[in-house]
Chains A and B, each alone.
Chain A
Amino acid sequence: MPSTQQPPIAGAVVDPTSVRPPIDDATIERVDVHGVRARLEALKAEGYTMLLDLAGVDYLPRSPRFDVVYHLLKMPTAAASVQQVGAPQRFRLLCGVNDGEAVPSAIDLWPNADWAEREIFDLFGITFSGHADLRRIQMPYDWVGHPLRKDYPLRGPAQERSPRPSFGLKSNVLAGTPPSGRTLEALQEQVKKARAADRPEAERDGLAGGEPT
């Protein structure tokens, strides 16, 4: 029963990718943000012709804070049979990047990095230098914040919760939205006001005794 015998790691400070030998068939390598471009170029030249996917991970207290993960595949670029394709080699390049740092774009090496980088920018707020069209892709253009960051609340920022945002605007920064009254601060404020307005206990008990109002 391998699942439960290891004690859990307190918090997410430890980088989970480094505590365990690789369990899939990819070659794994870690680079920093300055070396990533050269490494990607070298890998492309080595024959990793396909960028399978680009994933972002936020390890919040860690520095560098984010990982941008490149999944590469060594594929033939002309028609090939099953035997010729075989089991193409996989490569996983993990690039640590801090908040505010820009990762060099891979769009000229693999054009499909376009949407993948836009998605990471949208959901993590990591910028890519050299990307000509870096705008949001999943979230609405006027959205504030980057939802897949670990410090972004699951249900979104408080002002969006109530009233229900209109589907037409698809936005969390509605101009003129009345204060929701459901944020924690507002709730505390409300409780404080209610307490201040409340009469002393004895008096209230007296009122409860049956005095007509």
Chain B
Amino acid sequence: MSLSTQPLTPEIVSQEGNAMVLSMGPQHPSTHGVLQIMLEIEGETIVKAEPEIGYLHTGIEKNMENLFWSHGQTNAERMDYLAPSSNALCYALAVEKLLGITDQIPERAQHIRVLQGELTRIASHCVWLGTHAIDIGAISVFFYCFDLRENILDLQEAAGGARMHPNYIRIGGLNGDLPDGYLDKLDALIAKFPGRMRDLRGLLQANPIFQDRTIDVGVITAQQAIEWGVTGPALRGSGIAYDVRKAYPYSGYDRYQFDVPTRTDGDAYARFLVRLDEMEESLRIISQVRKDLNTPGPVAIDDPKVFPVPKETIALSMEALIHHFKIVSEGFRVPPGDVYSPIEGPRGEVAFYIVSNGENRPYRARLRPPSLYNLQCLKGMAPGNLIADLVVMIGSLDPVFGEVDR
């Protein structure tokens, strides 16, 4: 039998042969969100897997078309709730390209943007590693990961005022400088990190159960990865060292020394190793950025028509008051044009394709969701494997459903 192209009802037992149609999710804890997979199985072997997405569709792109440019930032962050600053950076860079102010962003703002981007990468990988290990049965890893992530969320809260969605990176710069005491906390994190990574590696990397569950599971060859549009750690786990930070450096990434970790096996274990290495490379970048953070400087573009004036000037200057009123009541206008602006998010190439028609709202803002394409690869990867391995495959692709469904 085959899966029909019509909407599938979660019928449990099929009519013919030993094949069976099983609906996994959308409330399954191992699907990392609201993913439903219609599985056609023979015994425990998957014959066909058809992921059903859209349970978290919120029309967030439609909403963005009706919000001011600066408000769209909020929506961009919500699309990837595990790495909000990364998406915020992507959106800000895209709009800055349309505005033509890319080269006017102050140095310090760029340093802090890189810092935020790398911190969210580590935080996102912590969630991935914790949940991935729990899926496989190693529960304690979760606590080590979430403890580390909590330190990063504290930093996010200190910088932006909110743990999960700091909304710190803005079009034209940052929402204020780093607060007092931030650098001490950052130093503490940098000091803590190597030991914690040693713990995580010690718990999993040579663990025979973990290796049994991940080696040769969910193999994606380089050819397949390219065909399915897979990017990020999943692509690098297949041997292709494509990293937007190296290929098209943005925000001054070309200033920093870092490697692009790759593995050639293309299985879940390779992706695991790539992500662990990536966390260490992120820390390498953070340590280099840390040295730059001692130099004070402005953190936002000096253009009151794009970036709000400092609040304390509003009561003192009439121009400032007018600028403030204009930017709050009608936003700013962006010259017409379209732009595709990619960055390297924790899951792969995140990009905004934005069309402006000269108004104070985006005409169309499309996020290229790396998770969507990575997850789609499951269709080609799952058949022939066991159901238990499907959980490993989903975990190793690290999908985020805010982004898949938008």
Contact = CB atoms under 8 A, between A and B. Distances in A.
Contacts of B231: 52
Interface string A56-94: 111000000000010100011111111011111010100
A98 interface: no
Interface string B359-383: 1000110101000110011011000
Contacts of B339: 23-24
B358 interface: yes
Interface string B337-362: 11111000000010101011111000
Contacts of B363: 12, 16, 57
A197 interface: no
Given A55-B366, A154-B63, A112 B333 contact: no
Nearest to B356: A16
B226 A79 contact: no
Interface string A79-122: 11110111110101000000000000000001110110000000
A23 B357 contact: no
A112 B340 contact: no
Which interface class (under 10, 10 to 19, 20 to 34, 35 or more) fits A? 35 or more
Contacts of A14: 336, 357
Q: Which of A7, A58, A78 has the most CB of B within 10 A?
A: A78
Contacts of B405: 138
Interface in B19-62: 53-54, 57, 59, 61-62
Contacts of A82: 241, 243, 246, 260
B229 A8 contact: no
Contact of B337 (A17, A52, A135, A137): A17
B190 to A, nearest CB: 25
A139 B57 contact: yes
B254 to A, nearest CB: 11
A29 interface: no
B264 interface: yes
Contacts of A114: 376, 379
Interface string B93-126: 0000111110000000000000000000000000
A16 B222 contact: no
Nearest to A141: B7
A8 B206 CA distance: 61
A213 interface: no
A88 B242 contact: yes
Contacts of A140: 54
Contacts of B264: 79
A40 to B, nearest CB: 14
A12 B356 CA distance: 10
B247 interface: yes
A3 B246 contact: no
B167 interface: no
Contact of A24 (B7, B227, B340, B359): B340
B229 A112 contact: yes
B104 to A, nearest CB: 10
Interface in A172-191: none
Interface in B326-341: 332-341
A8 B359 contact: yes
Contact of A57 (B222, B358, B359, B364): B364
A196 interface: no
Nearest to A2: B100
B229 A57 contact: no
Nearest to B94: A24
A49 to B, nearest CB: 5
B397 to A, nearest CB: 13
A25 B250 CA distance: 13
Contacts of A20: 335-337
B402 to A, nearest CB: 13
A148 B64 CA distance: 11
B303 interface: yes
A132 interface: yes
Interface string A123-141: 0000000001101111111
A19 B335 CA distance: 10
26 contacts: A3-B333, A4-B305, A4-B332, A6-B335, A8-B358, A9-B336, A17-B337, A20-B335, A23-B339, A52-B231, A57-B363, A71-B368, A78-B222, A80-B222, A82-B260, A92-B340, A112-B227, A112-B376, A112-B377, A114-B376, A138-B57, A138-B405, A139-B54, A141-B7, A147-B59, A147-B62
The 5 A-B pairs of least Cβ separation, nearest first, read A79-B239, A20-B337, A16-B336, A112-B229, A138-B57
